Structure 1
Amino acid sequence: MKLFYLAFAGVLYLASFAGDALAQSADHYLTIQLKNGPVVIQLMPDVAPKHVAQIEALAKKGEYDNVAFHRVIDGFMAQTGDVKYGNIEKGFDASLAGTGSSDLPDIPAEFSKTPFVRGTVGMARSQDPNSANSQFFIMFADGSFLNGQYTVVGKVVSGMENVDKIKRGEGQNGEVKNPDRMIKVTLGKK
Structure 2
Amino acid sequence: MADDNTLILTLDTGKVTIRLRPDLAPGHVERIKELANEGFYDGVVFHRVIPGFMAQGGDPTGSGMGGSEKPDLKAEFSKTPHLRGVCSMARSSNPNSANSQFFICFDDATFLDGQYTVWGEVTDGMDAVDALPKGEPPRTPGKIVTARVGADA
Q: CA deviation at 1:178?
A: 1.8
Aligned-partner Cα distance in 2 for 1:108–1:63: 20
2:100 to 134, 149, 172: 134
For residue 53 of structure 1, give the secondary structure of its aligned residue in structure 2: helix
User: In structure 2, the residue corresponding to 1:67 is in which secondary structure?
Assistant: coil
Q: Name the structure 2 match of 1:52.
A: 29
Within 1, Cα distance between the matches of 2:97 and 2:11? Answer: 27
SS at match of 1:70: strand
Question: What are the equivalent positions in structure 2 for 1:13-162 lying under 5 Å apart?
Answer: 27-83=4-60, 85-86=61-62, 97-162=63-128
- Residue in structure 2 matched with residue 186 of structure 1 by the alignment: 148
Residue identity opposite 1:35 in structure 2: D
Query: Which residue identity does 1:126 align to in structure 2?
Result: S
Higher relative contact order (CA 8 A, sep 6+): 2
**Alpha-carbon offset, residue 177 of structure 1:** 1.9
Q: How far off its partner does 1:34 sit?
A: 1.3
Task: Look up the SS of the partner of 2:98 in the other structure.
Answer: coil
Aligned partners of 2:13, 2:134: CA distance in 1, in Å?
Answer: 14
Percent of aligned positions that are identical: 53
Whichever residue aligns with residue 41 of structure 1, its letter is I
**Alpha-carbon shift at residue 158 of structure 1 (Å):** 0.2
Alignment length, in residue pairs? 150
3-state SS in 2 of match to 1:130: coil
Q: Which one has the bigger strand percentage? A: 2
CA distance in 2 between partners of 1:35 and 1:135 (Å): 18
Q: Residues of 1 paired with 2:92 and 2:114: CA distance?
A: 15
Give the distance between the partners of 1:106 and 1:42, measured in 2 at CA. 23
TM-score normalised per structure 1: 0.76
Q: In structure 1, give the amino acid aligned to 2:99.
A: N
Note the residue ranges of structure 1 that are not aligned, 5 or more in a row: 1-25, 87-96
C-alpha RMSD of the superposition: 1.2
**Displaced runs of 4 or more, over 2 A:** none
Looking at structure 1, the residues matched to 115 and 131 of structure 2 have their Cα atoms a distance apart, in angstroms, of 27
The answer as to whether partners of 2:4 and 2:149 remain within 8 angstroms in 1 is no
Max Rg structure: 1
